Amino acid sequence: MKIVACYSNKGGVGKTAASVNLAHAFARAGDKVLLCDLDPQGASGFYFRVKPSQKLQNEAFFEDAKQVAKAIRGSDYDNLDILPANMSFRDFDVFLSQMKNSQSRLKKALKAVGGDYDVIVLDCPPNISMLSENVLKAADLIVVPVIPTTLSERTFEQLLDFVEGQGDGKGGRRKIAGFFSMVQRQKVLHVETMQRMREAHPKRMLDTALPFSTDVERMGVNRAPVREFAPDRPSARAYAGIFDEIRARLHKD
């Protein structure tokens, strides 16, 4: 079982869209996939038209594997199940702060329910918190969407420093796979930022970039991954390219 976390310490960068499209791509490729929504906004579950279990409350996510298993929902797509979030997930940091071995509780919880899956994709909330520390420890690969702007470049550097400080040293950085999101190549700022970041982090940034596209925004209208309703559009091709690079990195490890 491999764990792929879609994470950013900055909101509004396309993290949930990446989670949904990558989980769908893994399933299409034949992997048995669980998309686990850790963001209490529950957008991943919304995209797949599934409702969360209200019985998965409080510490149960980390301590009761049977309750977690009951909360997993099937999707309209082969090989793809969803663990939707509910609003109680907003208190994860409170629960984790009260638990022993708090940094490894997420990994332990996912192992307990992940035996039937080849890949678990995590849709993570946009912050740096105790839950973030759990995500970094549990994940085999951390996929980071980066809008090529000055502020996003700064938050990406902060994330690299944070990962390096989590005990794995520079080795933790090897888990990071960033890709440029919502790219508008007519903007000089985007082009210059992409060039600068590729030069600074040649092993951390993927080659494929996701263009700014209304098709991604329309995922909320169609409530489906882009490939299901616009398979020939640039954004669908970009997600396919990002998936290919991520899968290659997982198999390389």
- Using CA atoms, how far residue 3 sits from 37, 86, 140, in Å, is 13, 21, 5
Going by C-alpha positions, the residue among 126, 136, 125, 128 that lies closest to residue 103 is 136
User: Distance (Å, rounded) from C-alpha 107 to C-alpha 225?
Assistant: 27
Under the banding of pLDDT at 50, 70 and 90, the label for residue 3 is very high
Higher pLDDT, 11 or 239: 239
Under the banding of pLDDT at 50, 70 and 90, the label for residue 96 is confident
Q: What is the pLDDT of residues 153-169, one digit of tens each?
A: 999 999 998 888 776 65
Sort strands 73-74 and 2-6 into parallel, antiparallel or unpaired: unpaired
pLDDT at 20 over 60: yes
User: Distance (Å, rounded) from C-alpha 170 to C-alpha 131?
Assistant: 21
Q: Two tokens at 123?
A: 């849709």
Q: What is the pLDDT of residues 176-228, one digit of tens each?
A: 999 999 999 999 999 999 999 999 999 999 999 999 999 999 999 999 999 99
Instruction: Give the pLDDT confidence score for residue 95 in this predicted structure.
Output: 78
For residue 208, which amino acid is it?
Answer: T
Across the range 91-119, mean pLDDT stands at: 84
Rama region for 12: left / alpha / beta (φ>0; ψ in -120 to 50; rest): left
* Chain centre distance of CA 98: 26
Instruction: Give the pLDDT confidence score for residue 171 in this predicted structure.
Output: 65
Please tell me the CATH code under which domain 2-251 is placed: 3.40.50.300
Q: Helix crossing, 188-200 with 150-163: angle to 10°?
A: 20
Instruction: Give the pLDDT confidence score for residue 251 in this predicted structure.
Output: 83
User: Distance (Å, rounded) from C-alpha 130 to C-alpha 61?
Assistant: 15
- Structural element, H or E, at residue 243: helix 234-252
- The size of the chain, in residues, is 253
Going by C-alpha positions, the residue among 123, 124, 148 that lies closest to residue 206 is 148
pLDDT at 84 over 80: yes
User: Distance (Å, rounded) from C-alpha 221 to C-alpha 49?
Assistant: 11
Percent of the chain residues past pLDDT 90, beyond the cut: 66
Q: Helix crossing, 15-28 with 234-252: angle to 10°?
A: 70
Under the banding of pLDDT at 50, 70 and 90, the label for residue 253 is low
Q: What is the pLDDT of residues 119-139, one digit of tens each?
A: 999 999 988 888 888 998 899
CA trace torsion 102, 106, 108, 109 (10° rounding): 130
Query: If you average pLDDT over every residue of the chain, what do you get?
Result: 91
